[in-house]
Amino acid sequence: MGFAIFGAYPICFAAARDALFELKPAWAKARGKFTQAMHVLITVAGLCISDVGFVVSFVGGVLGSAIIYIFPALLLLATTKARADAGAEQPLSTKLERWGCRGMAALGIVLAVLGGATSISAAFF
């Protein structure tokens, strides 16, 4: 477990930092200070959290549902919407599939909330 976290940390940190700079380009000017602040924040969180199992289970419960149910449904909805906006006629099967994807995304949100709540209740109650 420690090796997986040790190996994944630089990849996740760089991706999170770069994504944040893409969202807020003005912050990129203070890249060095921002990187140091993120390292301090993550280190303090690591010192305060004694059980990394909670973090792993919470992220797994929430992101697992997002990856399995929410993201694929949103991708199909975006693809078919782009086709409809381009003027292509949608058959009934595509319309039904879009409604199914909406339901699947809603189910994914419910399961993500339940997964996160289960992790929190198992760790703290």
Helix-strand-coil split of the chain, %, nearest 5: 90, 0, 10
CB under 8 Å to 119, separation ≥6 — which residues? 54, 57, 58, 60, 61
For 5-55, the pLDDT digits (tens) are 666 777 777 888 888 888 888 877 888 888 888 888 888 887 887 777 888
Q: Report the C-alpha gap between 66 and 34 in whole angstroms.
A: 29
Of 78, 72, 81, nearest in space to 105 by CA? 72
Q: Per residue in 44-83, pLDDT tens?
A: 887 887 777 888 888 889 999 999 999 999 999 998 888 7
SS3 105: helix
Q: How far apart are CA 4 and CA 70, in angstroms?
A: 26
Alpha carbon 113 to its chain's center: 13
d(CA 41, CA 79): 38
The gap between the terminal CA atoms of the chain, to the nearest Å, is: 25
Taking the whole predicted model, whether its pTM rises above 0.85 is answered as no
